Structure 1
Amino acid sequence: MDMRSRLSAALKDAMRAKEADRLSTLRLISAAIKDREIAARTGEEGATDGVSDEEVRAILGKMVKQRRESARAYEEAGRLDLAGREMAEIDVIEEFLPRKLDADETEAAVSTAIRETEATSIRDMGKVMAALKARYTGQMDFGKVGPMVKDRLG
């Protein structure tokens, strides 16, 4: 089942179960995907035939990152109720993302990417990161992986 079908089914289930918070988050996801499709149709983003599952995963990853930043800001401001709402949205969004790699799997993926791209110096970091992003979008935190790759190549 593709991402769009899974999202549509989850949206219908949330409506039937009258889960207002979950439904709200699912509608936000759907709206973000539709915005991307409209941009693609008008030529802004280049693609013309809908949004692929890979693009949906990228959109969801961006949504999770935004909500983590918002939750952190709310916690610093003492608004734990709003931080909790952001974290609840993250839980719903992450249901549609692949499982996150643990530390050992991330290390192995970085080693494999360095070996496959034949990276030898820090100048090759872009190639390694591109290989990792192509294969592991939504499965690892690239903000943490970047310094790891830099240490290995530097």
Structure 2
Amino acid sequence: MAGMTLKERLRSDLTTAIKARDEVRSSTLRMVLTAVTNAEVAGKEHRELTDEDVLGVLTSEGKKRREAAEAFADAGRDEQAAKERAESAVISEYLPEQLTPAEIEVLVTEAIDELGVRAEGPRAMGKVMGVLTPRTKGRADGGAVAGEVRRQLVG
């Protein structure tokens, strides 16, 4: 689907899902597109989101679903947990492939070495995260990246 923005792809897939009467997919894509629209009008002036901005929205929507699924599962509300998981699965189809813990570890090591801040320990956390955030955006949970940075800087 070259030439199509991520937002156009979401819209097009929503139309397809509605025609196919795919409830989960259509309701999930509707929610995501609403979140995108909300982000576009959130600032002082309306702006068109870039694909990278839309990925940010997708990432946070996916994270909300995963956290909700966990909360529902812990509360023994399996049906609700399954619904959140299904929505999360639809969202993840639009995200770049997620980094494995091993890949995150390598990226963190490279960033620390590149900055030469290993000796600074935990104080260098902000500098390292500043380098890593654009490299891992949409491909890894920020908390997981920060945890690995902390582990390597303290170690």
8 Å Cα contact 1:33/1:59 also seen in 2: yes
The share of aligned pairs that are identical, in percent, is 38
Aligned positions of 1:116-135 closer than 5 A: 116-120=114-118, 121=120, 122-135=122-135
Aligned equivalent of 1:100: 98
Mapped pair 1:70 → 2:73: no
Cα deviation, residue 10, structure 1: 1.1
Task: Report if aligned partners of 1:3, 1:56 keep a CA contact under 8 Å in 2.
Answer: yes
> What runs of 5+ residues in structure 2 fail to find an aligned partner?
none
Taking the TM superposition and a 5 Å limit, the aligned residue runs for 1:3-42 are 3-40=6-43, 42=44
Residue 78 (structure 2) aligns with: 80
Quote how far apart the aligned CAs of 1:141 are. Answer: 2.1
Gaps of 5+ in 1: none
Residue 89 of structure 1 deviates from its aligned partner by 0.4
Count of matched residue pairs: 149
Partner letter of residue 128 of structure 1? Answer: V
Structure 2 counterpart SS, 1:78: coil
Answer yes or no: is the 8 Å Cα contact 1:119–1:125 preserved in 2. no
Q: TM-score, normalised by structure 2?
A: 0.88
- The code of the aligned residue for 1:50 comes to E
Per the TM alignment, residue 87 of structure 1 is displaced from its structure 2 partner at its CA by: 0.2
Distance 1:111 1:50, change over 3 A: same
Q: Matches of residues 47-62 of structure 1 in structure 2 within 5 Å?
A: 49-62=47-60
CA 3–119 in structure 1, closer or farther in 2 if over 3 Å, else same: farther
Counterpart of 1:33 in 2: which secondary structure?
A: helix
